[in-house]
């Protein structure tokens, strides 16, 4: 056994499982001693400046590494670079030219994988960059990307970056209406989409959703990848096939010289209001954080095969399914389909077939595999795995240990990475060569970053105590720089505690080493199967149905998905509740947001519990679905509503 579990001083029974890296892992790791944290903390700006010099090729060096004018900050001021140059050109000049950059695995078993070497990828990106130019895309223009997990998604992203266009990727399982909302806000000029794709044995048509999403937006041109050969509607003069445009495109396109603080991409994410926000990531700092976190968190070496299972529509897909590994010159695996198609061992068969060595997924997936049983991973030789990662939501101890033992064979550290769409790259996790690896405890702040856990008044918590997680100056280089067209929402991150970035996450300081346990969101944002969802957005979607008068959505705990939305719905007086209506409401949510937002349960009620001033008491609804003590209801306008709801949700006193 490479990993020796050591026993912590058992003051607290929760602290019994603590793992440290083996000598073998330490020897191989890029970083393997605590001194890295000490060195970084001496001068964090100087530390990042050193990483920026060593990790990224700059066309022109910066004048100043960090400048802060709260709530704004800049990294590598006046530095010039191009991230696609760093992800492609610099590798193509070396022996990596014919190294696999992307191994793409289609869902149908009878289709062959596609391997794109760095040279192939570079050629495709250059060509598509020229295509975008011929479609009139210029530096600073926004390009929407609504694609599933096919290599064209990375090609399109990198092509945008090459010419300085700002990409805005929209999750392909989001509805056309969600796409439209984002494209309107981003004022995108061009959209890249697909005819359709395979998912769990089904053929999904995406072009029809894309057509809905384009309506009323400034999108003038649409590029359609032919993945399936489906018969789709193509609008003359607006829609073009990807392969037609690529046929004669020039395979060399000079990379645009980008300022370190030029916008690289927008990624819409859910906040506490009904409208998603366009998180802005800028080029230089993001490149530096993506490169070093990919390299150190996953101890990425040239011989590794890195598989991040996250969809490209989420930030994890952006940073660890595209930019990070490619900046490192790594080989990345990309899989089109579902984990359970055609059988429950599909993922493990892929790990075995391609010798995946670093595997990064979400706790929800792990819990799903746990439920399906050990026999599925056992069918496969998973000895190629060296490092396991998890992200997106708190991981429970049972799932952590199951992953560690059944997937990692007790050899591989589990790197539990805490971060957010806003932070651009990972921030709190243990490093493979340093440890410790403690189930449910993400780890320490990445070298050069600085977090704290505070109480409501802003005082730091003691070890063992829970509070609110914040990040302190200097803010990590990959952090958001703004919210697109909405600086007021950006400023909110820095207004809860002065001079600090407020994460909206609960956390507990774990030990004197600086390890931190994350305990979940403290705002009205849910993590449903790791997907970020705002209760307000879902409430808006449900109330926009003609039968609904009022609705409140709260998160209920769920064994596999972590959390699921439960919707309390008041209907118009002339509408009767029925199973059909539940189906209609779910269909309506699918069409408004997408199937990932589907409520797990819809509870019809004539009255929602309200304060005397008419405000819905979500706190009570939360307690009801969590089976927690409800507390005082005497101040309610309608305390009797609570009793009725107790019966509806099966609340046990
Ligand atoms: O609550 C935290 C949770 O996911 C939130 C961020 O969601 P999103 O922007 O979709 O980004 C997810 C992928 C980076 C956080 O506020 N979260 C993320 N990672 C962890 C986590 N909670 C606990 N442990 C984690 N490792």
> CA-CA distance, 574 to 571, in Å (whole number)?
8
Q: In the predicted model, is pLDDT for residue 5 greater than 70?
A: no
**Ligand 1 site: residues with CB under 6 angstroms?**
269, 314-316, 391-394, 416-421, 442, 503-505, 518, 520-521, 527, 532
Q: Report the separation in Å between the CA atom of 532 and the middle of ligand 1, taken as the mean of its atom positions.
A: 8
Whose CA is closest to atom 7 on ligand 1? 420
Task: Please identify, by atom number, the ligand 1 atom nearest to the C-alpha of residue 518.
Answer: 23
Q: Report the separation in Å between the CA atom of 126 and the middle of ligand 1, taken as the mean of its atom positions.
A: 34
Q: Which residues of 131-157 are buried (b: 16+ CB within 10 A; e: fewer)?
A: bbbebebeeebbbbbbbbbbbbbbbbb
Tell me, what's the pLDDT at 17? 85
Q: In the predicted model, is pLDDT for residue 1 greater than 50?
A: no
Q: Tokens 């590598």 belong to which residue?
A: 76
Q: Report the separation in Å between the CA atom of 530 and the middle of ligand 1, taken as the mean of its atom positions.
A: 7
Whose CA is closest to atom 5 on ligand 1? 420
Q: Report the separation in Å between the CA atom of 361 and the middle of ligand 1, taken as the mean of its atom positions.
A: 12
Task: Please identify, by atom number, the ligand 1 atom nearest to the C-alpha of residue 521.
Answer: 1
- pLDDT band at residue 274 under the 50/70/90 scheme: confident
Best residue among 271, 311, 392 to mutate for probing ligand 1, ranked by most atoms within 8 Å of CB = 392
Domains of the chain: 9-82+263-518 (3.40.50.12780), 134-256 (3.40.50.980), 529-649 (3.30.300.30)
Tell me, what's the pLDDT at 16? 64
Q: In the predicted model, is pLDDT for residue 112 greater than 70?
A: yes
Q: Report the separation in Å between the CA atom of 527 and the middle of ligand 1, taken as the mean of its atom positions.
A: 8
Q: Which element (helix H / strand E) includes 18?
A: strand 18-20
Task: Please identify, by atom number, the ligand 1 atom nearest to the C-alpha of residue 428.
Answer: 26
Q: Report the separation in Å between the CA atom of 207 and the middle of ligand 1, taken as the mean of its atom positions.
A: 31
Tens-place pLDDT, residues 57-102: 999 999 999 999 999 999 999 999 999 999 999 999 999 999 999 9
Whose CA is closest to atom 21 on ligand 1? 393
- pLDDT band at residue 14 under the 50/70/90 scheme: low
- pLDDT band at residue 613 under the 50/70/90 scheme: confident
The stretch 195-214 carries a mean pLDDT of 97
Best residue among 309, 527, 597 to mutate for probing ligand 1, ranked by most atoms within 8 Å of CB = 527
Q: Report the separation in Å between the CA atom of 178 and the middle of ligand 1, taken as the mean of its atom positions.
A: 21
- pLDDT band at residue 8 under the 50/70/90 scheme: very low
Whose CA is closest to atom 12 on ligand 1? 392
Q: Report the separation in Å between the CA atom of 71 and the middle of ligand 1, taken as the mean of its atom positions.
A: 22
Q: Report the separation in Å between the CA atom of 38 and the middle of ligand 1, taken as the mean of its atom positions.
A: 26
Q: Do residues 163 and 348 touch, judged by C-beta distance below 8 A? A: no
CB neighbours of residue 174 within 10 Å: 23
Average pLDDT of the chain to the nearest whole number: 95
Token pair listed for 162: 């090459």
Q: Which one, of 57, 27, 29, 54, lies nearest residue 260 by Cα?
A: 57
How far from the centroid of its chain's Cα atoms is residue 325's Cα? 15
Best residue among 312, 400, 403, 420 to mutate for probing ligand 1, ranked by most atoms within 8 Å of CB = 420
Best residue among 266, 419, 453, 555 to mutate for probing ligand 1, ranked by most atoms within 8 Å of CB = 419
Tens-place pLDDT, residues 446-498: 999 999 999 999 999 999 999 999 999 999 999 999 999 999 999 999 999 99
Q: In the predicted model, is pLDDT for residue 349 greater than 50?
A: yes
Whose CA is closest to atom 6 on ligand 1? 420
Residue 610's Cβ-count burial label (10 Å; 0-12, 13-18, 19+) is middle
Give the three-state DSSP class for 632.
coil
Q: Report the separation in Å between the CA atom of 208 and the middle of ligand 1, taken as the mean of its atom positions.
A: 32
Tell me, what's the pLDDT at 536? 93
Task: Please identify, by atom number, the ligand 1 atom nearest to the C-alpha of residue 426.
Answer: 14
Q: Report the separation in Å between the CA atom of 503 and the middle of ligand 1, taken as the mean of its atom positions.
A: 10
Whose CA is closest to atom 13 on ligand 1? 392
Whose CA is closest to atom 11 on ligand 1? 420
Stated pTM of the model: 0.95
Whose CA is closest to atom 8 on ligand 1? 420
Q: Report the separation in Å between the CA atom of 531 and the middle of ligand 1, taken as the mean of its atom positions.
A: 9
Whose CA is closest to atom 25 on ligand 1? 418
Q: Report the separation in Å between the CA atom of 394 and the middle of ligand 1, taken as the mean of its atom positions.
A: 8
pLDDT more than 90, % of the chain: 93
- pLDDT band at residue 635 under the 50/70/90 scheme: confident
- In SS3 terms, 319-331 reads as HHHHHHHHHCCCE
Q: Do residues 189 and 220 touch, judged by C-beta distance below 8 A? A: yes
Whose CA is closest to atom 22 on ligand 1? 393
DSSP state of 266: E
Q: Tokens 């407020």 belong to which residue?
A: 502
Q: In the predicted model, is pLDDT for residue 127 greater than 80?
A: yes
The stretch 257-274 carries a mean pLDDT of 95
Task: Please identify, by atom number, the ligand 1 atom nearest to the C-alpha of residue 429.
Answer: 26
Q: Tokens 């909110």 belong to which residue?
A: 492
Q: Do residues 402 and 396 touch, judged by C-beta distance below 8 A? A: no
Q: Torsion angle, CA of 297/390/554/503, rounded to 10 degrees?
A: -10
Task: Please identify, by atom number, the ligand 1 atom nearest to the C-alpha of residue 390.
Answer: 26
Q: How many helices (H) and strands (E) does the chain have?
A: 22, 32
Q: Report the separation in Å between the CA atom of 339 and the middle of ligand 1, taken as the mean of its atom positions.
A: 21
Tens-place pLDDT, residues 350-391: 999 999 999 999 999 999 999 999 999 999 999 999 999 999
The backbone torsions φ and ψ at residue 331, rounded to the nearest 5 degrees and listed phi first, read -95, 130
- pLDDT band at residue 9 under the 50/70/90 scheme: very low
> CA-CA distance, 171 to 424, in Å (whole number)?
17
Q: Report the separation in Å between the CA atom of 419 and the middle of ligand 1, taken as the mean of its atom positions.
A: 5
Task: Please identify, by atom number, the ligand 1 atom nearest to the C-alpha of residue 310.
Answer: 13
Q: Report the separation in Å between the CA atom of 86 and the middle of ligand 1, taken as the mean of its atom positions.
A: 27
Q: Report the separation in Å between the CA atom of 358 and the middle of ligand 1, taken as the mean of its atom positions.
A: 20
Peptide bond just before 436 cis, omega within 30 deg? yes
Whose CA is closest to atom 10 on ligand 1? 532
């Amino acid at each position: 056994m490479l990993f020796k579990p050591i026993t912590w001083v058992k003051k607290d029974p929760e602290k019994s499982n603590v793992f440290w890296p083996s000598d073998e892992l330490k020897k191989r790791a890029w970083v393997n001693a605590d001194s890295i944290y000490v060195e970084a903390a001496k001068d964090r700006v100087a530390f990042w400046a050193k990483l920026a010099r060593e990790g990224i090729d700059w066309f022109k060096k910066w004048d100043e590494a960090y400048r802060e004018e709260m709530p704004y900050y800049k990294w590598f001021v006046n530095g010039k670079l191009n991230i696609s140059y760093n992800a492609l050109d610099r590798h193509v000049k070396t022996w990596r030219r014919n190294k696999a950059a992307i191994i793409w695995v289609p869902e149908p078993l009878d289709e062959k994988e596609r391997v794109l070497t760095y040279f192939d990828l570079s050629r495709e990106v250059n060509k598509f960059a020229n295509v975008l130019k011929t479609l009139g895309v210029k530096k600073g223009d926004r390009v929407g990307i609504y694609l599933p997990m096919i290599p064209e998604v990375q090609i399109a992203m990198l092509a945008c970056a090459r010419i300085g266009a700002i990409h805005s990727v929209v999750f392909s399982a989001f509805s056309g209406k969600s796409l439209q909302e984002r494209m309107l806000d981003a004022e995108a000029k061009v959209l890249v989409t697909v005819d359709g794709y395979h998912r769990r044995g089904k053929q999904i048509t995406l072009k029809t959703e894309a057509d809905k999403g384009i309506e009323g937006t400034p999108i003038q041109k649409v590029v359609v990848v032919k993945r399936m050969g489906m018969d789709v509607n193509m609008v003359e003069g607006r829609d073009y096939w990807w392969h037609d445009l690529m046929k004669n495109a020039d395979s060399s396109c000079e990379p645009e010289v980008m300022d370190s603080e030029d916008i690289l991409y927008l990624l819409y994410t859910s906040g506490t209001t009904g409208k998603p926000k366009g998180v802005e990531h800028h080029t230089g700092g993001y490149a530096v954080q993506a490169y070093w976190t990919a390299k150190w968190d996953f101890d990425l070496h040239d011989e590794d095969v890195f598989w991040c299972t996250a969809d490209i529509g989420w930030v994890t897909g952006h940073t660890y399914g595209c930019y990070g590994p490619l900046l490192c010159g790594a080989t990345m695996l990309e899989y089109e389909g579902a984990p359970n198609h055609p059988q429950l061992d599909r993922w493990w068969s892929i790990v075995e077939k391609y010798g995946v060595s670093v595997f990064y997924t979400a706790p929800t997936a792990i819990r799903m595999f746990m439920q399906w049983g050990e026999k599925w991973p056992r069918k496969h030789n998973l000895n190629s795995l060296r490092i396991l990662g998890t992200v997106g939501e708190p991981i429970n101890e049972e799932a952590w240990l199951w992953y560690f033992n059944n997937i990692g064979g007790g050899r591989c550290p589990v790197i539990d990475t805490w971060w957010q769409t806003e932070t651009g790259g990972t921030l709190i996790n243990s490093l493979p060569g340093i440890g410790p690896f403690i189930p449910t405890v993400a780890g320490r702040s990445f070298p050069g970053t600085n977090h704290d856990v505070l109480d409501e008044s802003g005082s730091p918590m003691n070890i063992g105590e829970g509070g609110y997680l914040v990040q302190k100056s200097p803010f990590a280089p990959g952090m958001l720089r703004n919210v697109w067209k909405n600086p007021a929402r950006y400023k909110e991150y820095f207004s809860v505690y002065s001079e600090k970035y407020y994460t909206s996450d609960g956390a507990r300081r774990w030990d004197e080493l600086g390890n931190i346990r994350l305990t979940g969101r403290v705002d009205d944002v849910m993590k449903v199967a790791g997907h970020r969802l705002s209760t307000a957005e879902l409430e808006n979607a449900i109330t926009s149905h003609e039968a609904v008068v009022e609705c409140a959505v709260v998160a209920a705990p769920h064994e596999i998905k972590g959390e699921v939305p439960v919707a309390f719905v008041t209907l118009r007086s002339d509408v009767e509740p029925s199973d059909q209506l539940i189906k209609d409401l779910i269909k309506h949510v699918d069409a408004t947001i997408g199937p990932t937002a589907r409520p797990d349960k819809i509870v019809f009620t004539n009255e929602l519990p309200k304060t005397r001033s008419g405000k819905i008491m979500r706190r009570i609804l939360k307690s009801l679905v969590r089976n927690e003590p409800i507390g005082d209801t005497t101040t309610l306008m309608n305390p009797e509503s609570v009793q009725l709801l107790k019966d509806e949700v099966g609340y046990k006193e």
